[in-house]
Amino acid sequence: QRPKNFPPGPAPLPILGNLLNLSLDNPMKDFDRVGLWKSYGNVYSLFLGPKPAVVINGVQAMKEAMVTKAADFAGRPQDIFVSDLTQRGMVLADYGASWREHRRFALMTLRNFGLGKQSMEQRILGEIQYTMETLEKSIGATLGPQVLFHNAASNIICQVLFGTRYDYDDSFIQVVVQCFKENSKIANGPWAMLYDSIPMIRNLPLPFMKAFKNIETCKKLVTRLIAEHKDTRVPGQPRDFLDCYLDELDKRGDGGSSFCEDRLTMFVLDLHFAGTDTTSNTLLTGFLYLMTHPDIQERCQQEIDRVLAKRDHASYDDRRNMPYMQAVIHEVQRVANTVPLSVYHCTTSDTQLMGYSLPRGTLIIQNLNSVLNEEGQWKSPREFNPDNFLNDQGEFVKPEAFMPFSAGPRMCLGEGLARMELFLITVTLLRRFKFIWPEDAGRPDYTPVYGVTLSPKPYCMKVQLRAKQSPIFSET
């Protein structure tokens, strides 16, 4: 039974709810205009097992929930598979003092502690050198960029968190990446849906148990890293995020603070996970579109050459003089739709949305996909077109429906880092290389592979060095 004045939706079945209304391998198309949104409007409900969830579509309803009634919608459900899996982490932490303290700490540490703008740029530019080396070895050949971009994103966040980068064959990073890969598949698959729908099966030895084992494995590895940090750190002189947290622990003592070492392990694992697949899948989408739209790639390169002239590297501030590049990167984020259903929220008190009543504890699904493609919000919602972010004077503009990082108090904590990475990596690589869709690759297929994050189907790219444009090309 839906509560009184609850958003409408399809009739549920006993136990399973509306699970059969969704295709478990990719519910996106059911959420889309042609499906439930069209039938029930901007705010509708679904039963995921016995519990009703509310799906929010379109910019108007999204803003009312996430911005106007921010505190009412800032909770995270605590009794579902992903929250049990990431207990004591940050992404799924419930709205409250501990989440707030950890979020504030993470933002401040990313911003202020030696990771401020300058040194963050240096770290990203440093990591790009490894990406360039790999690309240079592939000149004239084709390569699959999946590992390349994944590696770059992972290493940037590892440097921030642990003060070190890892070669891709390093056993630490291999184990962590493998665990994350398996866990996002499980979290997204039918076993997690059953875990959420039928609580009595939760302790049975079913496939979802593998995900809990994976988390234990990762935690052990991070615990070892923390121990190493404790042995080598100089209190008050932090080298990385872990050191900062340990300094914070010294400062706070044991006096009832929510900061503790046990929490730190899951906190950094959350940050690593949240910051890797998201950025790398966005880059993968970007280069797929740039390769298959050579006119757009060339226009970016002309702008890059003009603005950077003879300087040896790009800086993040250059974006202010690169409206076209900015428009392209934003358009890539729009079509990449990297986290299509955001992270589940829940209501923290009884509230109203678009005239409907939602009791406290209602599971909230933000359909960000609906906003990023909403008719009426974009000049060309259905095609890849940088004009979506340019006004008639060719200046960069950001429509309010641009919400790939969500909105409100739970919005992506890594937005600043992610945007800096996307800009510096794309600009630096486009300046040096031309990316070509291989002749024998057939027609490009833009249909994404569904997951917690969307990714393009695996593809290959052909890489050529660009003609000499500046001192960095002088050796070629």
CB of 363 to ligand HEM, least distance (A): 13
* Contact between 50 and 195 (Cβ < 8 Å): no
Q: What is the DSSP string of 318-335?
A: GGGG-HHHHHHHHHHHHH
Residue with Cβ nearer ligand HEM (48 or 274): 274
For residue 15, give the nearest of 187, 194, 188 by alpha carbon: 194
Q: How many Cα atoms sit within 13 Å of 162 on the Cβ side?
A: 24
346 annotated to a ligand binding site: no
As a whole number of angstroms, the distance between CA 412 and CA 119 comes to: 21
Task: Kindly state the smallest distance separating residue 214's Cβ from ligand HEM, in Å.
Answer: 19
- Interacting residues of 133 by C-beta distance below 8 A, sequence separation 6+: none
Quote the least distance from Cβ 125 to ligand HEM, whole Å: 16
- Closest approach, Cβ 471 to ligand HEM, in A, equals 31
Contacting residues toward ligand HEM, per CB under 6 A: 90-91, 103, 157, 270-271, 274-275, 278-279, 282, 338-339, 342-343, 345, 404-406, 410-414, 417-418
Nearest residue to ligand HEM on Cβ basis: 414
* C-beta closer to ligand HEM: residue 131 or 279: 279
268/322 with CB nearer ligand HEM:
268
Nearer to ligand HEM, 417 or 461 (CB): 417
Q: Considering Cα of 238, then 128, then 285, then 293, what sign does the dihedral take? A: positive
| Bridge pairing between strands 356-358 and 351-353 | antiparallel
Min dist CB 420 to ligand HEM, Å, is 9
Neighbouring residues of 124: CB distance < 8 A, sequence distance ≥ 6 = 156, 420, 421, 424, 425
| 57 DSSP 8-state letter | -
When the beta carbons of 128 and 194 are compared against ligand HEM, the nearer one is 128
Question: Rg of the chain over CA atoms, in angstroms?
Answer: 23
**Bridge partners of residue 455, in order along the sequence:** 449
CB of 84 to ligand HEM, least distance (A): 16
- Write out the two tokens for 103: 């979020």
Between 248 and 305, CB nearer to ligand HEM: 248
* DSSP helix/strand/coil, 62: helix
Binding-site residues for heme, please? Answer: 412
